[in-house]
Amino acid sequence: MPKSVPDRPVLRSAKRAGGRDACATRAAILASAVRAFAAHGYDGAGVREIARGAGVTAMLVNRYFGSKEKLFGEAVAATMAQPVILAQGNLAAPDRARAFAQALEAITRPGAAPLDGFAIMLKSAASPRAAAISRAQIAKHHFQTLERTLTGPNTEERAALVLSLVAGLHQMRQTLRLPALVKADPAALTALLEPLFAQLL
């Protein structure tokens, strides 16, 4: 089975005639890598596929990033630098639980675009090296952001459980597409999620 990335074949719009703009090429490769890793995971995404998505050859990928593993590290760091759901720390506790529930439901909705950071982490779990990179970046970005906004006892454990809940729903609803979650009423799902977040926040 082919693993085509039929989306926008070339991102490099602002390059010179000869195609010699190192910065734009690098950015195009990184963007293609994020898409490919989120879609197929670390083992499933090939350097050739990533190169094709950026409009270059496979050789340039290793030339710019050294190896597939280092490219994966940069892709994970780039996607996890954007906090997305978890950064709503400026709300009061009850409102925050509702905001989390609504945001999570919307993001895992069947048609919606997945969270690249979580998609990459979940689909790359089989590779120990990729898992180590994901673990480090999750701890550095998402986990810290989240734990800082919590008060009371067991903030570490509660922050980690919030991440587990997000990862679990992402996995079952958007990656695995469990029928019960795909066809579920969004409002009912949000209503079920809200008290769970309320318990943890």
Residues in contact with a second copy by the rule CB under 8 A: 1, 40-44, 121-129, 131, 134-135, 138-139, 143, 154, 156-161, 163-169, 171-173, 175-181, 184-185, 188-189, 192-193, 195-196, 199-200
- CB 5, min distance to DNA, A: 11
- CB 155, min distance to a second copy, A: 9
Of 7 and 69, which CB lies nearer to DNA in the complex structure? 69
Given CA atoms 162, 104, 80, 173 in this order, what sign does their dihedral have?
positive
Of 19 and 157, which CB lies nearer to a second copy in the complex structure? 157
Q: Binders of DNA among 133-192, rule CB under 7 A?
A: none
- The 3-class secondary structure across the chain, one letter per residue, is CCCCCCCCCCCCCCCCCCCCCHHHHHHHHHHHHHHHHHHHHHHHCCHHHHHHHHCCCHHHHHHHHCCHHHHHHHHHHHHHCCCHHHHCCCCCHHHHHHHHHHHHHHHCCCCCCCCHHHHHHHHCCCCHHHHHHHHHHHHHHHHHHHHHCCCCCCHHHHHHHHHHHHHHHHHHHHHCCCHHHHCCCHHHHHHHHHHHHHHHC
- CB 45, min distance to a second copy, A: 9
Of 32 and 124, which CB lies nearer to a second copy in the complex structure? 124
Of 34 and 56, which CB lies nearer to DNA in the complex structure? 56
Of the candidate residues 7, 69, 95, 156, the single one contacting DNA (CB under 7 A): 69
Alpha carbons 165 and 161: distance in angstroms, whole number: 6
Q: Binders of DNA among 31-50, rule CB under 7 A?
A: 45-49
- CB 43, min distance to a second copy, A: 5
**By CB under 7 A, is residue 62 in contact with DNA?**
yes
Task: Name the residues that contact DNA, by CB under 7 A.
Answer: 3, 15, 18-22, 25, 45-49, 56-60, 62-63, 67-69
